[in-house]
Amino acid sequence: MTVLHGTCLLNGRHPPGSALGDECPALRRQRRQELRKAGAVIRIAAPPEIVERTGAESGISNTIIRDGRANRPGRPRVSAEQKREGARERARAFRRRRRGGTGP
């Protein structure tokens, strides 16, 4: 954030139809004040990037949701049995390479 964040260098004096006029913080404040005076309810919408996506658009795969890991970062847990089996397989592969064979 800069010192000028939330201020307008043109002080809200944008040419009519300007794209910058739609985003101008000074004009936005002025429009809100006018709506408040008129008694309207002001609703602030979330930017499109923040709005939650559903279904196929979602960044979370169905597998992660189905397995219950949606909010658990990192690698998934592995059972002790799977760890032992992996260690056995690595030891067997090491011995095979050391012997120079390609057998089981």
Structural domain boundaries in the chain: 1-45
46 or 18: which leads in pLDDT: 18
Stated pTM of the model: 0.34
pLDDT recorded at residue 19: 79
Question: pLDDT-derived band of residue 1, with 50, 70 and 90 as boundaries?
Answer: low
**Whole-number Å distance between alpha carbons of 60 and 53:** 10
pLDDT recorded at residue 66: 61
3-state secondary structure string across 9-28: CCCCCCCCCCHHHHHCHHHH
pLDDT recorded at residue 76: 80
67 or 18: which leads in pLDDT: 18
Tell me 59's DSSP state.
S
**Whole-number Å distance between alpha carbons of 30 and 64:** 46
The answer, yes or no, to whether residue 37 has pLDDT greater than 80, is yes
In the chain, alpha helices (H): 19-23, 25-38, 62-67, 80-99
